[in-house]
Amino acid sequence: MIRDATVEDGDRLRDLQTNLREPNPPLLDYAVEGPPVVLVSTASNTPVGYLVAFHDGETGYVAEITVAPTHRREGRARRLLVAAFDRLRSKGCSEIRLTVHPENGPARQLYDSLGFEEVGRENEYYEDGSEGIALGREL
């Protein structure tokens, strides 16, 4: 099930955030309590994945997406993204963007399957000095 995150989900989302290559706890705290789109994927009413997206009225930006290792390969990230597409479209966005690490093959395959295309590169985007691959698609 995909639903909006609540403040009560905060501790569990912070636990899930540790699965990210470069977690940003202040971003997640702000997002859960603030205006961005924060969606969770649940199993037995417990969040096992989440997505944080910001928008500027025209473009949505996926800032974080992760799924617990024990729940990967179940289609949860795909469902989170599709739900984000709908939510951002309803807020007037016509496109969505995100950035992926060049070594994250599984994520890249997912994004490709959803119609994302490379729109640029960000030099030294990640802490390890790697560039970020900017992807985008129309909503």
How is the beta sheet containing 46-55 ordered, strand by strand?
2-4, 37-43, 46-55, 59-67, 95-100, 132-138, 117-122
- Cβ(38)–Cβ(12) under 8 Å? no
Domain count, the chain: 1
The pTM (predicted TM-score) of the whole model is 0.92
Task: Summarize pLDDT for 84-104 with one digit per residue, the tens.
Answer: 999 999 999 999 999 999 999
User: Across-strand partners of 137?
Assistant: 96
Domain that holds residue 131: 2-138
CATH number at residue 62: 3.40.630.30
Lowest mean pLDDT among 6-10, 32-36, 62-66: 32-36
Task: Summarize pLDDT for 61-76 with one digit per residue, the tens.
Answer: 999 999 999 999 999 9
Task: For residue 96, give Cα distances in angstroms to 9, 35, 46, 54, 59.
Answer: 25, 17, 27, 10, 5
